[in-house]
Amino acid sequence: MVTVSKNLVNYVNNPAAIGSFSASSTSTKSYIDKNLKEKEAKKENNHIYKKDTLLDDTISEKMRVNWEKTKDIPLKHFPRGLGGAQDYTFFEFLQTAKFPYYVGGPILAALFYAGVNKNNFQAAKAAKTVAKHMALGVALYYVGAAIAKGIVNKTVKWTRGIDLNQPYARAIPTSTNQTGVFRKDTEYHKVFESADFTRWDLLYNHDGKTPAEINERYSKIAKRYGIKEDASDVDSTVKPLIKKTIIMARAWQYALTACYVALGIGLANQNPWNKESLAGFKRTVKDGIFGKGYNIKDRLHNAKIAVYDYALKPLGRSFESFWKGHNKASSIAGKTVIGLTGLATLTAISLLIGKTSGRGHKIVNKDGQNNEVQK
């Protein structure tokens, strides 16, 4: 076993490696030819990020990060994984796990479509209806998942000032990274992705001179948590609350996703969508909005038709028919899913607001006295 002090040194050399023992493996590889090791280490360090960097919390930056992450899946993570790179991480495994998620659906659809007899009008029509519901189901599946995540994220952001999607770039040291062209020098993570190893350090203002300046972000967050400004060690005070928030938010994100996805699939399978809403939507958008020979007023009118008549109206109707059902079982299923989704949403929001608050906690204020309950 390496000693704690050795670990410390490693952390100092390699600040990104927190939370794992990766650093230790580099130091003891004595079975590897020393010459080789030196040869490999010669590569010039051309990092974009010299150290772990908090990224801007803007939509454009998030989009760039997502694009980089997606691009890395086929270009870095798969080649490195298939080659068995020694410095392959769990993060990379999780990234590759997204691949089947994206590929599986289209392949299933392709298999379904290949089995359809396109010559037989009736069969083709029936299959078309099924395919339509299938496509809509997939769309509403993603919409449902996005809504569930959005509800939680927005609630946390508005009430506690924390963006759970706040990205940061992790600089990967080349000393543990000997894989040439497939070398990864950056991993894009989220600050709050881990409850156990939250990157608290990134939230400090490293250029600050005084504790108040250094803790600037924490003070802001603490205020949103209802902690008075005179709290001593505002960062330590608010960290457990943030951790609690992260755990609660993640749990509810998963739970709500299950609810909303079931709701989406349920809505997609209702009859109101059969009334040519998808075809109508497509036609109206293609011809009515982007087609030739309309003035702006007509185009706006057509846009309204596309959104209202072909999307919102059938959505509303399908909601109604999902609730009512066509027999006892389906009516119970519909009411349960809708009811459960509504209930879960309200519970999630109220718990996220109510239970993460710092009000009512015992807080040590600056003069060292225990503040009783603050109202």
Partner 1 sequence: MGNLINTIPVYKPQTTQTTATNSVSVKAPAHAIETQFPQYQNFSYLPAEPLSPARTTPKGMKPHSPNGYLVKENIFQSAASTVKSYADYVKYFYNAAFKGEGTDYSVGKINDLAIRTGSLGIAAVLATSKLFPFAKGMEFVGLATWFASMAVWPRVIGTPIKMATGVDINQKYVDSYGRRKNFFEDPQYLAWDLYRHIDKNGNFNKQAPDYEKLDAIGDKLGIPRDIKNRREAIQDKMKQIAIQGNALWMLTAGVMTPVISSIVADSLQKPLQDSIEKYRTNASSKKAVELTQKVDSLISNNVNDYPTIMKSLGITVDPKVKTKFEALLGGESNRINPDTFKDLEKFISERYFATGIESAITKEMKDVMDAAEPYVNITNNFKNDLRQLTADAIQEVVQMVPEEKRGMIPKRFLDYKGLKIEEISKALEESGVRFGEEEIGLVKQGSVKNLLARKVIWTVNEEQNVDKSLLEALRSHINKKTESYFEQVRFNKVDTEKMKKIFDFAETNLSLKQQLEEIQKATIMNISESTTAINWTKVPKKYLQALGLSKVEMQEIANTDSRHAGKIISRKFEEIAANSERYGKVLNQMSKYAAEAVSKEEKAVIQLLGTADNPGLMAKIQELMTRSASRNFSQLMTDNIENQYTMNIRSVYQKLTNTIDSFTRPIKALDTFKDIENIADKILGSNVDQFRENLKNKPIYYMFLTPNKENKPEAEFLSQEYSRARTALKAYIKDIVLQKNDINDWSTKMEAILPGYKKGINHSKTMLWNIANEVNGSISEDTVAAIMKECKAENEKNIIQRFIKIADKSTERMKFHFMGIHNKIWPHANETNINRGLVEKVFKQKDFGEAYEKVISLLKDRVHDLGRKETFKCLQMVYDFKDKYKDAKNYNVDPAIDYIVSKLNYSIANKPLAQRSGKNITDFVISASENACARNKWSKLAIGLLVGTGALTLGTIALMGRKNYFNKDQYEPLNPKTPEGVTK
4 binding partner 1? (CB under 8 A): yes
Residue in 62, 76, 80, 224 binding partner 1, rule: CB under 8 A: 80
Q: Which stretch binds partner 1 (CB under 8 A): 62-70, 159-167, 241-249, 305-313?
A: 241-249
According to CB under 8 A, which residues from 108 to 167 bind partner 1? 108, 110-112, 114-120, 123, 126, 129-130, 133
The binder of partner 1 chosen from 362, 367, 372, 375 (CB under 8 A): 362
- Is the Cβ–Cβ distance between 171 and 286 less than 8 Å? no
Contact flag: residue 38 with partner 1 (CB under 8 A): no
In sequence order, the 6+-apart residues with CB closer than 8 A to the CB of 163 are: 57, 153, 156, 157
CB of residue 186 to partner 1, shortest distance in Å: 17
CB 204 within 8 A of CB 45: no
Which positions ≥6 away from 111 have C-beta within 8 Å?
A: none
Under the binding rule (CB under 8 A), the answer on residue 375 touching partner 1 is: no
Q: Which of 45, 61, 83, 128 binds partner 1 (CB under 8 A)?
A: 83
Q: CB–CB of 14/176 below 8 Å?
A: yes
First and final C-alpha spacing in the chain: 50
Applying CB under 8 A, which of residues 149, 266, 277, 278 lies at the interface with partner 1?
266
Specify the residue, 65 or 152, whose C-beta has the smaller distance to partner 1. Answer: 152
What is the residue-wise DSSP string for 336-367?
HHHHHHHHHHHHHHHHHHHTT--TTS-EEBTT
Stretch that binds partner 1, among 41-49, 89-97, 154-162, 312-320 (CB under 8 A): 89-97
**Could you say whether residue 368 binds partner 1 (CB under 8 A)?**
no
Q: Is the Cβ of residue 59 or residue 373 nearer to partner 1 in the bound state?
A: 373
CB of 247 to partner 1, least distance (A): 5
Residue from 159, 186, 245, 318 in contact with partner 1 (CB under 8 A): 245
Q: Judged by CB under 8 A, which stretch of 53-61, 82-90, 162-170, 287-295 contacts partner 1? A: 82-90
Nearest distance from C-beta of residue 75 to partner 1, angstroms: 13
CA distance readout (Å), 294 to 193, 287, 301, 340, 353: 49, 9, 10, 45, 49
Is residue 231 classed as helix, strand or coil in its secondary structure? strand
Number of residues counted as binding partner 1 (CB under 8 A): 119
CB neighbours of residue 309 within 10 Å: 15
Using CA atoms in the order 24, 201, 374, 367, what is the torsion angle rounded to 10 degrees? 90
| The one among 41, 212, 247, 312 contacting partner 1 by CB under 8 A | 247
- The angle, 0 to 180 degrees and rounded to 10, between the axes of the packed helices 121-160 and 216-224 is 110
Report which secondary-structure segment, H or E, holds 312. none
Contact 216, 166 (CB under 8 A): no
Q: Which of 217, 222, 252, 224 is nearest to 238 (CA)?
A: 222
Report the residue number, 99 or 290, with the smaller CB distance to partner 1: 99
| Given 162, 191, 241, 278, the residue binding partner 1 (CB under 8 A) | 241
Q: Which is nearer to partner 1, 313 or 330 (CB)?
A: 330
List the beta bridge partners of residue 189: 168
- Tell me which of 103, 279, 300, 312 binds partner 1, using CB under 8 A: 103
Helix (H, G, I), strand (E, B) or coil at 190: strand
Interactions with partner 1, residue window 297-356 (CB under 8 A) = 325-327, 329-330, 332-334, 337, 348, 351, 355-356
Residue 193 or 283 having the CB closest to partner 1: 193
Q: Please choose, out of 11-19, 54-62, 156-164, 308-316, the segment that lies near partner 1 by the rule CB under 8 A.
A: 11-19
User: Could you say which residues in the range 189-208 bind partner 1, by CB under 8 A?
Assistant: 194-197, 201, 204, 206
Residue 232 per-residue DSSP state: S
Tell me the residue type at 30.
Answer: S
Question: What tokens were used for 149?
Answer: 């995540």
Strand positions, DSSP E, 47-119: 53-54
* Contact code string over 14-33 relative to partner 1, x by CB under 8 A: -x--x-xxx--x--xxxxxx
